[in-house]
Structure formats: C-alpha cells, structure tokens
Structure 1
Amino acid sequence: MPRRVIITFAVIGVLIFITEYYTFQALKIATKLKALKWVVLITSILIYVNFFYTIYSMDRGGGQTITFQWAFGWLLIALIPKIFIMLFLFGEDLFRGGQKVFSFFISETKPIGGRRKFLSQLALGIAAIPLASLLYGVSRGKFNYKVIKYQLKFKDLPKAFDGFTISHVTDIHSGSFDNKEKIQYGVDLINQQKSDMILFTGDIVNNFAYEMDEWVSMFSELKAPAGKYSILGNHDYGDYSDWKTPEDKKANFQAVKDIHPKIGFELLLNENRYIEKDGQKIALIGVENWGKGFNQAGDLEMASEGVAQDDFKILLSHDPSHWEYKVKQDDFNYQLTLSGHTHGLQFGIEIPGWIKWSPAKYVYKQWAGLYEEFGRYINVNRGFGYHAFPGRVGIWPEITVIELKKA
C-alpha cells in the first residue's frame, strides 16, 4: 500500500478516535440516557467499518459506485457533527489546562471543576445543526431543484435575438441517480421553462456510458425549438477508472459521445454552430474539457474556426478555470461563457443578498452563479446531479434560465 495512503488512513483514524472520545464524554455528561452514548458509539463504529471495508473491497476499475457514495455519505454524517463537538469541548479543555498551569504558580486560584454540563449540552446542540443538514441533504436536498433566472444585456447582440432564452443545465452524473420520480420532476422542470434553446455543459456520466442507459428515454423528452447542444466534461473521458486495455477506454469514450444524439443533443467537440433567426445569427462554440492542471483537450482556437471576431458568441466550456485563465481576456471577445464542474462542492451556505459561501471558493475563483469581468460574463451552474457525496447541503441542484436582451 502506498505510503501516502497509509498516512491518510492514519490521520483519519486519529481524527475518528478524538471525535468519538469527545462525543462520548459530551453524551455521558449532558444526558441521563446512559445507553445513548453506547448506541451512538456502536452505530459510528459500524459506519466506519462499512466505509473502510467498501474502500478495501471495491473494484478499482469500477469507478465510483453508488455503494461507495453512500459509504462516504454516512462517514460524513457520522464524523462532521462530532468535529463540531470536538472543537467546542477542546476549546474548553485548553481553557481548563491554562487555568491549571496558572493555579500551579498561584496557589490562591480556585480549584478546577470537571467538564460543565451546560457546555456539553451546548456542543451537542450545535452539532445537531450539521447533522440535520446532512440528513436532509442526502434524503431531499439533492432533489431540491432551483430555477435561477438572469437577464443579460449586450450592445452587440443581434436585434433578432432580443428576448432569446437559454436553459443551461450541467453535470447530470447519471451514475449517481437512485430515484426515477425525482429525476423525472427535474427533467419536467427544465421543459416547463419553455426556453428557446437548451445547453448542456458536460459530465453526463460519472465514468461509464452504461450509467445513462436507463435515463436516455427520460432526457429525450427535453424540448427546445432552437435546438439542444452539449459538450463533454472531465468525467466523460473515463479517466477515473482503471481500464483493462486502452481499447476498452476508447470504446467507452465513443459510447459516451454517442449518448448525446440519442437524447437529441448535438455534441460540439472543439467546433461551432451558427444559430440563425430572422436573417441574423449568433455563434455557439463548444470546447472539450479544459481544466487547470489536467485534461486540457479543449482547443479554443480550433473551436472558433470560421467565427468572426465581431460575431456575438456563446462559449460552452465545462470547467470555469478555462474562463479564468484563457477566455475572459481573450481579444476574440467571448461575450458569454457557460460552465459547470464545481457543483458548488454540494455544500455551503447561500442566503441571497446576505451570504454566499462554500469551500469551493478556495479552489475556484468562479464557483457558482454569474460573474462579470471586462464586460464578459460566465455562468457557473451548480449542477443538476450529484457526485461523491450522495446529497446536497445548502447548494441546491440548478437549472439556469438566461434571457438575452439588446442593450
């Protein structure tokens, strides 16, 4: 086993031990139900054993399965609330330790009492918030679809496209789906927007083309009079699995690309199409995945071949880091870019007009929502599906509707 894997498991093991110790102490002091602390401890041990067994026994060539996602999800549910307890009570221990050192030198100091019941109860109360949020996230939050609407004005938009609407969808991740009724609701919600065009910006599967098999008929129901267009995301290349032969990976990649016409989408692979209306046109440009530090198959110059600099352009690029490092200052002037990829990390806090936070902001400068620089826009959709963690907490699945207006 690689050394870094051993170190990772050792760190996780130490974290689990410390959090369980503090949680056991808090339950012991704060509640009169003596059996509760043992029920929580035994349940947690079963969750940890299941997670490590799943990691140990999983087929490395099988990619990230639903079984793994749920094992990881239950790990987070068991661990994260206890981290809050640990941090709260560890702070108390630091204070008590400092007081003890102080009393060693000054005999007049009052003796230190044991852990206070009120603080243990407060720690448990605080931990209940992330616990409830995580449980909601895996049961209902991942299907809590939100329609977010923007009206964007451009001076160089052809007049014929004034009022033209686009539904932007991304990161379906069909390999994670486990509820047909809820997914059907999401698909119906896209159709209810009655947009002129539907654009999908990648990650139709987690890793394998067959993941989409039972969902093809459902997503084929999507309708848009001006067309449906799509691009690939990083997960569509099959890079997150160990393949028996290069030919197997190549065949899977072709099968992933073949999904798009099956559901009525025209897949753009570093190429462009003109959308015409009343004798005027806008350019739709789709690049393959371009990520900072990995899988830079996207070729902006190739994708824009034949497009004029003064054309109004909509760029589809899965990873928003492409916009940050290559697109936003490009002299060719890509007025609007649509991306996904980040999922907003499926965890965060968003209260419109008050707060917008997720750990994703420390990885991506543009991680969720609409951004504007140099007179150019990017919309980073929070994603339709979910991946790794089988839920969403505070960052809900999204359907973006953008109305283009002539300034």
Structure 2
Amino acid sequence: MLRWIIFIAIYSALCFYALQALRTVTRFPWVYFTYIGIALLILLNFVYQFTWGDDAGRVLSRPKSYAFGFLLTIITFNIITVIFLFSEDLFRFLSGSYHKLFGGSKEFSFPERRRFLSMIAMGIAAIPFGALLYGMYRGKYNFQVLKYQLEFDDLPAAFDGFQITQISDVHSGSFDNRKKIEYAIDLVNEQQSDVILFTGDLVNNKAEEMMPWKDTFARLEAKEGKYSILGNHDYGDYVTWETEELKSENLETLKNLQREIGFDLLLNESRYLEKGEDKIALVGVENWGRGGFKKAGDLTKATEAISKNDFKILMSHDPSHWEDVVINDDYHYHLTLSGHTHGMQFGIEIPGWVKWSPVKWRYKYWAGIYQEMGQFINVNRGFGFLGYPGRVGIWPEISVITLKRKSLT
C-alpha cells in the first residue's frame, strides 16, 4: 500500500508541474481539463490493472501492458517538461535569494522567458510522447528484413550460399493484430531460406498464449527444416502456479506446440545439416543467462554427438551466454544466433551513423552482428514485444544470414 501512495504522490507532482507549463502556454481552460482528464484516466487504469483487474494476478498480460505503455508515455512527457521548468525555477530562486541577501530592490520576474521555456519544453517533450504512441499503434508491427552475408575460411563448399532466416522472441501473448502477424509470416516465407531458426521465447508466460497462433506459425516453410530452442519466458517462471505439476505440464505443452508448428526443438542437442558429402553442425542449448536468468544451457551435453572440427552454428537465446561462455569454449562456434534483448524496443538506429539503445548499458552485444575471436554472433531484435506494447526506433526483425566460403585467391 505504501508503494502505491508514494507512486501516486510522485505521479501527481509531475502532472501538477506539467500543468503549470500548459497554463503558461495557453489560456484555454479546456486544454487544462483535457490534460487532467487524460492523466487521471491513465493513472486509474494503471492502478486498476495492477490491483483489481481480471489479470491482476498475472504478469505482463495485454491490458497491463497497455496500462504500462500509456503511463510511460505521459510520464516521459511530464519528466521532460519538468526538467526544463525546474531548471528555470532553480535559477529564479537563486537569483531572487541573491538580490534579497545583497539588498537588491528589483523584482526578479521574467514571465516572457517562462512562457518561452514552457513552449520549448513541451515542444521537445511532444517528440517522445508522439513516438511512444506511434510505437504502440504502428511501430510494434513495423517488420524489417535485415540481411547479412558472413564469410568463413572453413565453410564446407556445398554450403556456400546457404541461407538462414532467424526469428526470435515471438511473445505471442502480446499479439493483438492477426493480419499483421500473417503478413510477417508471409514475409519470412518470401525469403525462401534453406532453414528457419527460432531462438526462443515463444510466449510471455503460458503455453495457452500460443494456441490462437499455432496454425499461422505452422505455415512457416524452409527447404531444409525449421529448428527452435527455448528462451527464459518459455519455462513459465514469471507466473505463480498452484502446483509444480501444473508448471511442468505447461512446459511440456509448449514443447509439443513447437513440434506441432513444425519446429525440431533442440534441448541441449545437435543436428547435422547435410548437402551431399558435406555437413554442418547445428547446436541448440536451453536458456542460459547472466544476472539471475535460468541457466539450463549445457554446451557439453549439446555437443556430445558432434566433432570439435565441425563447422558449427549455435542457437542460444541470451547473448550473455556467448560473452561469458561460448567464445572462450574449447569448441569454435562459427556463428551463434541469439535474441532476448529486444533492443529494449526503444532506440535510434541510422545504418552507418548511429546505433544506440539504453539496453547497451546492460548487454555489450545487444543487436545485430558482432565478431570476437574469429566467431560471429547475431543478436536478433525480436519478432514480438513485451512490457511496453510497442517499438520506437528498434523495429521487429527478421534476420536473413547468407553463409559464404571465403575466397582463397
């Protein structure tokens, strides 16, 4: 209860400050009342969804995600506005104190300056405000096909030009637009890749979230097969279960769902992909993540049936596994495919110029292709979304990777 009181007090203070900026900029009362009404509705909806709502006992349900998304939008607007106005208030306070202490008689007031700063503050605050709303309306389904070509000295000749499509972090429990998902599945199939590799997090919490989408994802096609692994959300660790048996049943249901979709689910296992006499090893580990995430991944077990000298592709959901374990392993993993970070669903990317997201402060390898010690990793930005029900600047991704044999001439 105390947490809610503190939260509501802080929220109210931010809204009050932003309201003062509105009153400085415009004299129309309907603007103030509209802002107050929207701010109040967002607060009441957020409190309701996280306390008494139908999904109050579940983590990351769709109504709660939208409640959080709208709250994030207005708080971002308020904070940016407050930063500008607070700096002005601080300046006025210090200047006024100086004049009083040293006998100044002139009243220190700049109403025009205050109005100008309020207009600047609200103009700047409107940019992320609009972007966050756009991210919820359109950005979350703004699917991008990102293509990469990677060269290797020891790629078996028959696999020169072999094409992989990677998708990751579906989070089907967040979906709310069937046409957009069907479009994305068609987009995956249009790539006509040799294999489709899915690197975990099919659901947010429970296998039942995937039931309405099973037939849609079953339409995925690849000439040499479809393979998958589990991500941290697939184990059902983020919801409360009445019994451990129910939790185990949920995981088994999810595994069976993946197989019904047509995925060959790799649980610390490997497969050989063969072309004539040449072959490459596909290795899939269960989730292994730094910082409290499940560590079920077992590279030793997963590679029992392959040779150390094989050309290897590893599927591992969390890129911290690659950083902490994989690149220093005795086996050389030519290419690792991960996801997990979502690129935080927020950032700025201008190819060749800027690549930034707050998630970089937690994950060194957070989006795209990286190379260390002669080994590559692709961190997929994710197919779906979680928490904030949108994406801004970091769009949903379908990765297409072509393997090439490096020319010896």
Shorter-chain TM-score range: over 0.9
Identity %: 53
* Aligned residue in 2 for 1:334: 333
Residue 216 (structure 1) aligned to one of 214, 217, 233: 214
Contact 1:61 1:243 in 2 (8 A): no
Alpha-carbon distance in structure 2 between the residues aligned to 1:14 and 1:404:
56
* Aligned residue in 2 for 1:91: 87
* Aligned residue in 2 for 1:19: 14
Alpha-carbon distance in structure 1 between the residues aligned to 2:274 and 2:317:
24
Alpha-carbon distance in structure 2 between the residues aligned to 1:344 and 1:357:
9
Structure 1 residue 350 corresponds to structure 2 residue 349: yes
Alpha-carbon distance in structure 1 between the residues aligned to 2:375 and 2:98:
60
Contact 1:141 1:392 in 2 (8 A): yes
* Aligned residue in 2 for 1:198: 196
Ranges of 4+ aligned residues in structure 1 off by more than 4 Å: 58-61
Query: How far does residue 88 in structure 1 lie from its aligned partner after superposition?
Result: 1.2
Query: How far does residue 80 in structure 1 lie from its aligned partner after superposition?
Result: 1.1
Alpha-carbon distance in structure 2 between the residues aligned to 1:233 and 1:289:
5
* Aligned residue in 2 for 1:369: 368
User: How many residues were matched structurally?
Assistant: 402
Query: How far does residue 61 in structure 1 lie from its aligned partner after superposition?
Result: 4.9
Query: How far does residue 135 in structure 1 lie from its aligned partner after superposition?
Result: 1.0
Q: What are the Cα deviations for residues 183-207 of structure 1, in whole angstroms up to 9, with x where unaligned?
A: 1111111011111110000000111
Alpha-carbon distance in structure 2 between the residues aligned to 1:386 and 1:303:
29
Q: 1:22-171, aligned counterparts within 5 Å? A: 22-58=17-53, 59=55, 61-108=57-104, 110-115=106-111, 116-171=114-169
Alpha-carbon distance in structure 1 between the residues aligned to 2:331 and 2:262:
30
Contact 1:60 1:241 in 2 (8 A): no
User: If the length of structure 1 is used for normalisation, what is the TM-score?
Assistant: 0.96
Q: What are the Cα deviations for residues 149-206 of structure 1, in whole angstroms up to 9, with x where unaligned?
A: 1100011111111110000100001111000000111111101111111000000011
Contact 2:382 2:397 in 1 (8 A): yes
What letter corresponds to residue 36 of structure 2 in structure 1?
A: L
The farther-off stretch of 391-400 and 94-103 is 94-103
The farther-off stretch of 11-20 and 36-45 is 11-20
**Aligned-partner SS, 1:295:** coil
Alpha-carbon distance in structure 2 between the residues aligned to 1:182 and 1:356:
26
Q: What are the Cα deviations for residues 54-108 of structure 1, in whole angstroms up to 9, with x where unaligned?
A: 1112456533211111111111122111111011111111211221222223334
Contact 2:234 2:251 in 1 (8 A): yes
Q: What are the Cα deviations for residues 212-264 of structure 1, in whole angstroms up to 9, with x where unaligned?
A: 11111111111100111000000100001100111110100000111111111
Alpha-carbon distance in structure 2 between the residues aligned to 1:254 and 1:405:
38
Contact 1:60 1:242 in 2 (8 A): no
> Relative to structure 1, is the Cα distance of residues 11 and 156 closer, same or farther in structure 2, using a 3 angstrom cutoff?
farther
Alpha-carbon distance in structure 1 between the residues aligned to 2:8 and 2:364:
33
Contact 2:50 2:56 in 1 (8 A): no
Structure 1 residue 306 corresponds to structure 2 residue 305: yes
Alpha-carbon distance in structure 1 between the residues aligned to 2:380 and 2:293:
21
Structure 1 residue 242 corresponds to structure 2 residue 259: no
* Aligned residue in 2 for 1:406: 405
Stretches of structure 2 that go unaligned for 5 or more consecutive residues are none
Structure 1 residue 189 corresponds to structure 2 residue 184: no
Alpha-carbon distance in structure 1 between the residues aligned to 2:248 and 2:165:
31
Query: How far does residue 278 in structure 1 lie from its aligned partner after superposition?
Result: 2.1
Contact 1:65 1:176 in 2 (8 A): yes
> Relative to structure 1, is the Cα distance of residues 110 and 168 closer, same or farther in structure 2, using a 3 angstrom cutoff?
farther
Alpha-carbon distance in structure 2 between the residues aligned to 1:309 and 1:217:
38
Query: How far does residue 355 in structure 1 lie from its aligned partner after superposition?
Result: 1.5
Alpha-carbon distance in structure 1 between the residues aligned to 2:232 and 2:248:
15
Q: What are the Cα deviations for residues 241-293 of structure 1, in whole angstroms up to 9, with x where unaligned?
A: 10011111010000011111111110000000000012100000000000113
What letter corresponds to residue 77 of structure 1 in structure 2?
A: T
Alpha-carbon distance in structure 2 between the residues aligned to 1:91 and 1:365:
34
What letter corresponds to residue 270 of structure 1 in structure 2?
A: N
Query: How far does residue 313 in structure 1 lie from its aligned partner after superposition?
Result: 0.5
What letter corresponds to residue 119 of structure 1 in structure 2?
A: L
Alpha-carbon distance in structure 1 between the residues aligned to 2:109 and 2:165:
62
Alpha-carbon distance in structure 1 between the residues aligned to 2:349 and 2:44:
34
Alpha-carbon distance in structure 2 between the residues aligned to 1:382 and 1:40:
35
Query: How far does residue 110 in structure 1 lie from its aligned partner after superposition?
Result: 4.4
The farther-off stretch of 56-65 and 379-388 is 56-65
What letter corresponds to residue 272 of structure 2 in structure 1?
A: Y
* Aligned residue in 1 for 2:316: 317
